[in-house]
Chains A and B, each alone.
Chain A
């Protein structure tokens, strides 16, 4: 699956699509693949404060529990209600319809420290090599 060029990526496998201070946040295709069949998603209510690097939600597969970390500080505007009943969408469309939250960022320049698509692809390719060494 392609990693959208306009997104920014964290080492913990979240993506951010920011337009000014408005951002959509999700987990990457690599993350959903590592997790396997996603069966449960827990997301914050609108108004919840996000703090960079702090957990704001949980995604669970049959086998694993994974915390999701805020890539930047801000406030939650909307959580993706679709994922409540159809968490498996995270396995098929993690970069699109299965976004997790929309947020207003406190300081969009925080995202400058994140990876672009090319850097993220190199990062996960490295992880792949480690795993099969």
Chain B
């Protein structure tokens, strides 16, 4: 086995729950400069964590995610105008208490980052951004909102963010809050008391393809640990387990949710990534719009597809993809065994002529071409339950 090189821990950033993760024996890795749990052997490991989220409930520390608040300056509407300028979805359509998936684009139409935009007030927004791109994002936001009458604050270090995910997440959180959770639809949020903490942001969002909530509590270690422990206690009857970034990755992959640096990056545009439904050309100008329009007119040279391995072998990030003639035509962006499906799945960029469902392609795995076929995505879609029938995703 290759020796596992461990970077100096002192240089890595830590969430407020870092000591707790280590005390509980979590296996830690460097994720984008953060010392984060990749899996919890005490939970039974990655596959057990993945299955807990699909079948019942799991909890993730996602405090490494960044938060940027953009609110009014002297006059109202300055923040909305700024958000509209820097992000591709139409924030004017958001009600107060509603959130949506969006992205910040470069003038080239490629990705600065994908973001969840929350409308906190009439002219008050919270952007939740990726951990690995925090500094880049905040610099980008500050530089590109300068001409707008708004105030930009980075709140990343103010919050411990916990993601309680799975079909029983609602049952766990219900025990810890007096807020009516059934009133919070998918991609909506509210403020309420959680674990005795008033005015806590409770959002019905996540990165797992399951129902679930993300809560934002003060980031001091004592409060963070108290809330974590109360969530674990409340979830015990539902078999809640702590989950790491490993399960978070397999869960999001099954649901075909993009990961920055993989499916989206500064080299990939909105059309290629298949995220154009979140890109509202009709809302007016925004950074990257002209390039996205040009890219649309020029036609696609590559598109994101789902693959399922037919031959034995696991496609991994950056493995080449070949056609039947053995010519390299594309590349895997994310690949893994799927714990839910019991198959090896992957996302890849290939020319559109190879994107039809059923097309046979080959993935080069250690110098061998292993057969795979294009399948519909997402690989996994959660069953619609009667009780959450109004959980429609906001495009």
Contacts and interface: CB of A to CB of B under 8 A. Distances in A.
Q: Tell whether A and B belong to one assembly.
A: yes
Interface of A: 11-14, 27-28, 31, 33-37, 39-40, 42, 58-63, 65-69, 127, 130-133
Contacts, number: 67
Interface in B303-321: 312-314, 316
Among A37, A68, A132, max chain B CB count under 10 A is at A37
Given A36-B46, A37-B45, A40-B314, A63 B38 contact: yes
B2 A36 contact: no
B4 interface: yes
B250 interface: yes
Given A39-B337, A40-B314, A13 B46 contact: no
Given A12-B1, A131-B9, 19 more contacts: A12-B3, A27-B1, A28-B1, A34-B4, A34-B27, A36-B39, A37-B45, A39-B314, A39-B337, A40-B312, A61-B46, A62-B46, A62-B336, A62-B337, A67-B1, A69-B1, A132-B9, A133-B9, A133-B10
Given A13-B1, A132-B22, A36 B336 contact: no
B394 to A, nearest CB: 31
Given A131-B28, A132-B9, A59 B339 contact: no
A63 B3 contact: no
A131 B246 CA distance: 18
Contacts of A36: 27, 38-39, 45-46, 246
Contacts of B41: 33
Contact of A62 (B1, B3, B28, B339): B339
B1 A127 contact: no
Contact of B46 (A27, A59, A63, A69): A63
A13 B22 CA distance: 23
B304 to A, nearest CB: 22
Interface string B255-272: 000000000000000000
B141 to A, nearest CB: 32
A14 to B, nearest CB: 7
B47 interface: yes
A55 to B, nearest CB: 9
Nearest to B29: A63
30 contacts: A11-B3, A12-B1, A13-B3, A14-B1, A34-B4, A34-B27, A36-B38, A36-B45, A36-B46, A36-B246, A37-B45, A39-B337, A40-B312, A40-B313, A40-B314, A42-B366, A61-B46, A62-B47, A62-B246, A62-B250, A62-B339, A63-B38, A63-B39, A63-B46, A63-B246, A63-B249, A66-B2, A67-B2, A127-B6, A131-B28
Given A36-B46, A40-B314, A130-B6, A59 B1 contact: yes
A83 to B, nearest CB: 12
Interface string B294-334: 00000000000000000011101000000000000000000
Contacts of A133: 8-10
A65 B302 CA distance: 27
Given A37-B45, A39-B337, A63-B46, A68 B1 contact: yes
Contacts of B366: 42, 58
Contact of B47 (A12, A37, A68): A37
A34 B45 CA distance: 11
8 closest cross-chain pairs (CB), A and B:
A13-B1, A31-B1, A66-B1, A37-B47, A39-B337, A63-B246, A62-B46, A131-B6
Contacts of A33: 41
Contacts of A39: 314, 337
Interface in B8-59: 8-10, 22, 27-28, 38-39, 41, 45-47
A63 B316 CA distance: 9
A63 B39 CA distance: 10
A33 B314 CA distance: 20
A43 to B, nearest CB: 12
Contacts of A66: 1-2
Interface in B335-371: 336-337, 339, 366
Contacts of A131: 6, 9, 28
Contacts of A40: 312-314, 337
Contacts of A130: 6
